[in-house]
Chain A
């Protein structure tokens, strides 16, 4: 059994010092003012009970709720933009897609490619596309979402609109 370290009895403990805080008290006249004010506030609370819409308004205006609403709006906008990544146009678009499993008609000469994309998520960025023709080639850049952890991998590919629907990918 180990002995506890000796207590330095000439000096107070943290607890003794903290008890000093009990001595910090407001002067007596503070309480008479406090009581009068509370009495007034209580009467006001009884007479002017806020209506339900005032309470809902107060709840909505709480600090932090605005930030949460902004974050939710951002998430909705992001989700909507992510829902239509191949909408055409030359503007660069980004979206995140889970890796698809290799289709049965996949080219046998690129087996490693599917092994690489299986069970991974990629950010797809539209580099260019022909908005005028739905069958025109589109060029995409695929960036593995876990690229920083795996030392970085970048795959660039061309994908046709028709090719996409038949799940054929050309590297």
Chain B
């Protein structure tokens, strides 16, 4: 990506403000006025989250890489039409989610999965401790087993339910933000989330504690 003085200057302007939405809007305006370096900054800011969302919805890392590229290209091309009525990140999440769901529809008959390896560094130590407590096997073996079972269970959810689970549990977005991204009501998001977690609870029963739906 572009690493120059202009990039650093734009970065400084973008981070000087307290509100991330305002910072994004400032960058969007710069891109609209022809500054490509500002778009690089938006990419740097959101690429990991967009990749993670698409990867967790599609369960295929190669597709996720392509769809993340596609998302940013689409966003770049459609930036003229972005008027700032919603936050930039909900807008780009919406592009990514739509791209992922379309890809799932396209490859309905040739489904195959490929997963990333678990990177233990940077993981929440409390979660790791909780996951490995009382286990007889070593931590890496246990984590691999849990990952496998979790991915199997997620695949059994419908794409719409999986999307809501991914955005809420993995991406940490609020119900309101998810409703805006997937284009439904907050009530529908809550209902989908409840149903999906109930289903996951059943599928992962040997690994999770009872009454852990909240």
Contacts and interface: CB of A to CB of B under 8 A. Distances in A.
A9 B209 contact: yes
B118 interface: yes
B208 A17 contact: yes
Interface string A11-22: 111111111111
B59 to A, nearest CB: 10
Contacts of A25: 48, 52, 116, 119
A13 B209 contact: yes
Contact of A12 (B43, B65, B131): B131
Contacts of B118: 20, 23-24
A51 to B, nearest CB: 13
Interface of A: 4-27, 30-31, 34-35, 37-39, 41-42, 45-46, 49, 63-64
B39 A34 contact: no
**B interface majority secondary structure:** helix
Contacts of B131: 12, 16-17, 20
A98 B122 CA distance: 70
Contacts of B51: 26, 34
Nearest to A35: B1
Nearest to B150: A17
A23 B119 contact: yes
Contacts of B48: 25
Given A31-B47, A42-B76, A20 B69 contact: no
Nearest to B65: A34
B77 A22 contact: no
5 contacts: A9-B209, A14-B200, A17-B150, A24-B119, A26-B116
Nearest to A32: B1
Interface of B: 1-2, 36, 39, 43, 47-48, 51-52, 55-56, 61, 65, 68-69, 72-73, 76-77, 105-106, 115-120, 122-124, 127, 130-131, 133-134, 143, 146-147, 150, 165-166, 169-170, 197, 200-201, 204, 207-214
A54 B48 CA distance: 31
Contacts of A46: 36
Nearest to A37: B69
Contact of A45 (B76, B169, B211): B76
Contact of B170 (A6, A13, A18, A41): A18
Given A23-B118, A24-B116, A11 B208 contact: yes
Contacts of A31: 47
A22 B146 contact: no
Contacts of A38: 1, 43, 69, 72-73
A35 B39 CA distance: 12
Contacts of A41: 69, 73
A2 to B, nearest CB: 12
B119 A34 contact: no
Contacts of A5: 210-211
A10 B150 contact: no
Nearest to A4: B211
Contact of A24 (B115, B169, B204): B115
A42 B106 contact: no
Contacts of B213: 13-14
Nearest to A62: B102
Among B124, B200, B208, B212, chain A packs the most CB atoms within 10 A around the CB of B212
Given A10-B133, A12-B208, A20-B118, 5 more contacts: A12-B207, A14-B208, A19-B170, A34-B65, A49-B77
A102 to B, nearest CB: 49
A16 B127 contact: yes
